[in-house]
Amino acid sequence: MPGMPNGGSGNSPEQTGQLRRVPVQQRGRERFEKILAVATELIEARGSDALKMSEIVERAGLSFGALYQYFPDKSAIIRTLAERFNEQGRRCVEAELAGVANPVALRQALCTIADEYYAFFRSEPVMRDIWFAAQADRLLQQIDADDMEFHAQALLSVLARLWPAQPPGQLLAIARLTMQLLAAAVRYAASLEDDEGRAAIALYKKMLPTDFSQLVQG
């Protein structure tokens, strides 16, 4: 259902929630993945707001030094998890849009993307927690915005292929709004009980244009 802050203005990793380093050696990668796995368990149990570095250290059986070697704070951990989940979503969207050859297929692809994103967030409570937490976190908002722009550009490439004569600016506006509405529908559906959520996604799909040609050329 995507530029990100950096330390260019003198901010340290602690201030930006960025990774200190990405491990290269096997032992370091194992620690890195262990930290993320434990953080995932804790977020699933109590939510990202309650995530504490001390609990991660205790449950992972690591020292604070080992933890801070990679993650200066919990924001860096949450950011890493969010980016990983976003990458899964990007692969899903790219795969669905790659086979679109006509307006009818475009509508079907968007319906499939909505279904798959909804199923993804139902099966990944941690990502659902992080997605909702983005509403109050500037760093996560930027990550979410970057991810949304990635999806909009992916859709734009399809629109430009199907309607090459249309103004690029118009197609970009359609692509951005289409993906924003899809994400909003999934976000809303994910906040409901599953039966209500499925009904909301079904309603969203009914609201999609039957023929995108009318929208693009209208």
The tens digit of pLDDT for each residue in 81-122 reads: 999 999 999 998 999 999 999 999 999 999 999 999 999 989
Task: Give the span between the Cα atoms of 2 and 55, in whole angstroms.
Answer: 30
Contact 88, 160 (CB under 8 A): no
Residue 194, domain member (yes or no): yes
Radius of gyration of the chain (CA): 20
Residues 33 and 91 in one domain: no
Residues 188 and 89 grouped into a single domain: yes
Q: Which residues of 173-206 are buried (b: 16+ CB within 10 A; e: fewer)?
A: ebbbebbeebbebbbebbeeeeeebbebbeebbe
| Token code pair at residue 212 | 């995108």
Q: Using CA atoms, how far apart are residues 218 and 199, in angstroms rounded to an integer?
A: 30
Q: What does the pLDDT look like over 126-150, one tens digit per residue?
A: 888 887 777 777 888 888 899 999 9
Residue 218 within any structural domain of the chain: no
Q: What is the pLDDT of residue 131?
A: 79
Instruction: Give the side-chain half-sphere CA count within 13 A for 24.
Output: 1
Question: Sign (positive/negative) of CA torsion 193, 198, 201, 203?
Answer: negative
What is the per-residue pLDDT for 157? 97
Residue 129 CB neighbours (<10 A): 20
On whether residue 173 sits in a domain, the answer given is yes
Q: 82 with 143: CB under 8 angstroms?
A: yes
- Specify if 114 maps to a domain: yes
Query: Can you give the pLDDT at residue 2?
Result: 37
In this structure, is residue 3 part of a structural domain? no
Which domain-ending residue is among 74, 102, 126? 74
In a domain, 216, yes or no: no
Task: Give the mean pLDDT of 19-40.
Answer: 83
User: What CATH code is carried by the domain that includes residue 31?
Assistant: 1.10.10.60
- Residues 140, 182 within the same domain: yes
CA distance 125 to 134: 14
Do 161 and 88 sit in the same domain of this protein?
yes
Based on the fold, state whether residues 106 and 184 are members of the same structural domain. Answer: yes
Give the pLDDT confidence score for residue 16 in this predicted structure.
Answer: 53
Distances (CA, A) of 217 to 106, 108, 154, 173, 182: 15, 19, 20, 13, 21
Same domain for 151 and 110, yes or no, is yes
**pLDDT (mean) for 190-213:** 94
Q: Who has greater pLDDT, 197 or 66?
A: 197
CATH number of the domain where residue 87 is located: 1.10.357
Do 123 and 22 fall within a single domain?
A: no
Q: Do 170 and 194 share a structural domain?
A: yes
C-alpha to C-alpha distances, 18 to 52, 171, 213, nearest whole angstrom: 17, 34, 43
pLDDT at 128: 84
Q: For residue 13, is pLDDT > 70?
A: no
Last residue of a domain, one of 33, 49, 74: 74
Same-domain status, 55 and 96: no
Residue at which a domain ends, from 53, 74, 95: 74
Q: Is the domain of 110 the same as that of 152?
A: yes
Residue 106 lies in a domain: yes
Residues 147-176: pLDDT tens digits?
Answer: 999 999 999 999 999 999 999 999 999 999
In a domain, 1, yes or no: no
Domain count, the chain: 2
The residue with tokens 């550009």 is: 153
* 57/162 same-domain check: no
Nearest to 39 by CA among 81, 69, 70, 68: 81
C-beta of residue 150 within 8 angstroms of C-beta of residue 90:
yes
Domain of residue 41, residue span:
13-74
Distance between CA 176 and CA 45 in Å, rounded? Answer: 34
For the segment 46-69, the average pLDDT, to the nearest whole number, is 92
